[in-house]
C-alpha cells in the first residue's frame, strides 16, 4: 500500500494518506479542515538518487568483480 504525502491548499496542513493501490481514486480530505483542495507533496523519502540510497548501495554485501 503506497503512502502519499499531501498539503491542504486551504489551511496548509501537511498529512499522509495510505491508499490501497497506486491507481486508487479515493476521496482525499484534509484531516484538519475537511477541504478536498489538497495537492500531493514531494516526498524526500521516495526521491530516487538520494544520499540515503547511495549510502545503501555502497554498503552492499554483494561480491564485486574479481
Domain boundaries, the chain: 3-46
Parts of the chain with a pLDDT under 70: 1, 21-25, 43-66
Confidence (pLDDT) at 9: 97
Confidence (pLDDT) at 20: 72
Rg of the chain on CA atoms, in Å: 17
Confidence (pLDDT) at 14: 95
Confidence (pLDDT) at 61: 62
User: Full-prediction pTM beyond 0.85?
Assistant: no
As a whole number of angstroms, the distance between CA 27 and CA 9 comes to 15
**CATH entry, 3-46, from 3.60.70.12, 2.20.28.10, 1.25.40.20, 2.60.40.1930:** 2.20.28.10
As a whole number of angstroms, the distance between CA 31 and CA 50 comes to 30
Confidence (pLDDT) at 60: 57
Confidence (pLDDT) at 42: 74
Amino acid at each position: 500500500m503506497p503512502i502519499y504525502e499531501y498539503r491542504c491548499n486551504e489551511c496548509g496542513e501537511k498529512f499522509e494518506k495510505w491508499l490501497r493501490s497506486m491507481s486508487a481514486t479515493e476521496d482525499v480530505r484534509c484531516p484538519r479542515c475537511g477541504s478536498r483542495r489538497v495537492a500531493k507533496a514531494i516526498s524526500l523519502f521516495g526521491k530516487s538518487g538520494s544520499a540515503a540510497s547511495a549510502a545503501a548501495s555502497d554498503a552492499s554485501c554483494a561480491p564485486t568483480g574479481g
